[in-house]
């Protein structure tokens, strides 16, 4: 009874803290005064899409792991609270998280947190690997379409996991333990690859994941798992092999998160948009090969070093054709930013979205500013215009919000970007970093916030 009461108190505390966080975020908008050039250097934070999974993976360490280069964003705060609910201790020291998971003693996650952030489904794999069971709410996050977790479940079922729906939650059990398997994913899903890979770490025998996601964040996760004693091979290729080890052979580790390629691409797009040059430091240029090719195709000057990229422009932007695809193809997380670039380029651009069906919600907002965009199924035809006008717009997701702020930098007059809690989910000090590059913008109280 006492243990149940402790977990109830923890769940209520998590809900209260989450609502307080949302209350604070809901009060602000970003106001941008347009027409200022952007140039200079920006330090890129650790990758959001990697750090969230690294935090979840620390469950397997069963002790105090240290993760460096963790961005100061709201999604990390939510994931930290998920782990604290499970019994972990999470301490932040600047950009370093110290996570002690020795006392994690439950496999149930709080609905109030998990249902609001899609990445929280990443605890499913490590909980199964550690306890042989898990209960999680259906994941939330940006409204980008169905984003079903069917492939997560299919991969885990091949490892011996049984799923049931219990009061709206997903309950996973392993009646006969986890065992290695051959798994071929229908699509190279990042989340399905991560969850399957983490669960397979303690599965008996060998697991082979075919058509695995190849993103740099997958490699980063595999590197941390191996530092904890796992045996993961082939990360970064389409075939990942996991040789199962015993739970007792896993241990805590110290790891540094890779740079955020999407944050880097967003700021570099600012250099392309306003002339620049903008230099992004702390990023491996190989993470953005396709995006850099598109910058060049649009008439930008691109320079690279070991851990930096520079993008600038001295001539008009040219139209471009883009198709979003899993890595190493063009990233869907940069599609909105490049739609903005195409909106002010000379000629007609065509952007095809092959990953998330609702990524084009950005188009309706940029049209309010004077862009000429026509949506046809999963294609966007963008006719370039010479100017945009500032107005009130609403972020519909994380990347849409970041792109709208940059649209405000380009536009004539003032732009008010509402619902900026989306931006806070994935960009550390976005306003401060843009201001350091020359943008005129500020956060202000917002009475028009909408969920």
Residue 106 corresponds to which tokens in the numbers above? 């439950």
H or E element at residue 255? strand 254-256
Consult the annotation and say whether 344 binds a ligand: no
Determine the 3-state secondary structure of 375 from DSSP. strand
Sign of the torsion angle spanned by Cα atoms 230, 215, 332, 275: positive
Question: Could you report how far apart the first and last alpha carbons of the chain are, in Å?
Answer: 37
Is the CB of residue 421 less than 8 Å from the CB of residue 25? yes
Consult the annotation and say whether 307 binds a ligand: no
Residue 406 corresponds to which tokens in the numbers above? 């940059």
DSSP string across 135-199: EEEPP--S--S----HHHHHHHHHTT-EEEEETTEEEEE-TT--B--EEE-SS--HHHHHHHHHH
Phi, psi of 48 (to 5 degrees): -55, -50
β 64-68/254-256 pair status: parallel
| Distance of alpha carbon 334 from alpha carbon 240, whole angstroms | 26
Distances (CA, A) of 229 to 186, 222, 246, 249: 29, 11, 10, 6
H or E element at residue 274? helix 261-274
- Among residues 142, 253, 300, 400, the one annotated as catalytic is 142
Determine the 3-state secondary structure of 295 from DSSP. helix
Is the CB of residue 367 less than 8 Å from the CB of residue 342? no
b/e map of 160-188 (b: 16 or more CB within 10 Å)? Answer: bbeeeeeeebbbbbbeeebbbbebebeeb
DSSP state of 209: E
b/e map of 349-387 (b: 16 or more CB within 10 Å)? Answer: bebbbebbebbbbbbebbebbbbebeeeebebebebeee
| Distance of alpha carbon 394 from alpha carbon 176, whole angstroms | 49
Consult the annotation and say whether 48 binds a ligand: yes
Burial of 404 (0-12, 13-18, 19+ CB in 10 A): buried
Residue 284 corresponds to which tokens in the numbers above? 């491996």
Determine the 3-state secondary structure of 58 from DSSP. helix
Active site residue 253: no
Annotated binding site for phosphoenolpyruvate: 48-49
Annotated binding site for UDP-N-acetyl-alpha-D-glucosamine: 118, 333, 355
Give the catalytic positions in this structure: 142
Annotated binding site: 48-49, 118, 333, 355
């Amino acid at each position: 009874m006492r243990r149940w009461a402790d977990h109830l108190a923890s769940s209520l505390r998590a809900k209260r803290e989450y609502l307080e966080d949302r209350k604070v975020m809901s009060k602000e908008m970003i106001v941008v005064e347009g027409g200022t050039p952007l140039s200079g250097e920006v330090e890129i934070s650790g990758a959001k899409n990697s750090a969230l999974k690294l935090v979840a993976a620390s469950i397997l360490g069963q002790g105090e792991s240290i993760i460096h280069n963790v961005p100061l964003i709201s999604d990390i705060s939510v994931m930290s609270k998920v782990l604290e609910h499970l019994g972990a201790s999470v301490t932040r020291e600047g950009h370093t998280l110290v996570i002690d998971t020795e006392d994690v003693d439950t496999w149930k996650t709080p609905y109030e947190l998990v249902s609001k952030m899609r990445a929280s489904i990443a605890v499913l794999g490590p909980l199964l690997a550690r306890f042989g069971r898990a209960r999680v709410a259906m994941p939330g996050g940006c409204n980008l379409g169905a984003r079903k977790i069917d492939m997560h479940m299919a991969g885990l079922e091949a490892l011996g996991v049984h799923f049931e729906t219990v009061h709206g939650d997903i309950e996973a059990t392993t009646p006969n333990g986890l065992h290695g398997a051959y798994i071929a994913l229908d699509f190279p899903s990042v989340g399905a690859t991560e969850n399957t890979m983490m669960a397979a770490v303690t599965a008996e025998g060998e697991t082979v994941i075919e058509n695995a996601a190849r993103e740099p964040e997958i490699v980063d996760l595999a590197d941390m798992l191996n530092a904890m004693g796992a045996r993961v091979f082939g990360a970064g290729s389409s075939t990942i092999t996991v040789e199962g080890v015993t739970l007792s052979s896993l241990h805590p580790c110290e790891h540094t998160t890779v740079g955020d390629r999407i944050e880097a691409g967003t700021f570099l797009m600012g250099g392309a948009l306003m002339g620049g040059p903008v230099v992004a430091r702390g990023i491996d240029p190989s993470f953005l090969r396709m995006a850099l090719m598109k910058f060049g195709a649009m008439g930008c000057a691109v320079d690279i070093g070991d851990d930096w990229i520079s993008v600038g422009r001295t001539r008009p932007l040219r139209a471009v054709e883009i198709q979003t695809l899993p890595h190493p193809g063009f990233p869907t997380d940069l599609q909105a930013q490049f739609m903005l670039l195409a909106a002010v380029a000379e000629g007609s651009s065509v952007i095809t979205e092959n990953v998330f069906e609702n990524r084009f919600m950005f188009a309706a907002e940029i049209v309010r500013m004077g862009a000429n965009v026509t949506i046809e199924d999963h294609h966007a035809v963008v006719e370039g215009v010479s100017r945009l006008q500032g107005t009130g717009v609403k972020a519909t997701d994380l990347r849409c919000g970041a792109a709208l702020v940059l649209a405000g930098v380009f536009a004539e007059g003032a732009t008010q970007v509402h619902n900026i809690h989306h931006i806070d989910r994935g960009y550390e000090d976005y306003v401060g970093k843009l201001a350091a590059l020359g943008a005129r913008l500020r956060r202000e109280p917002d009475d028009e916030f909408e969920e």
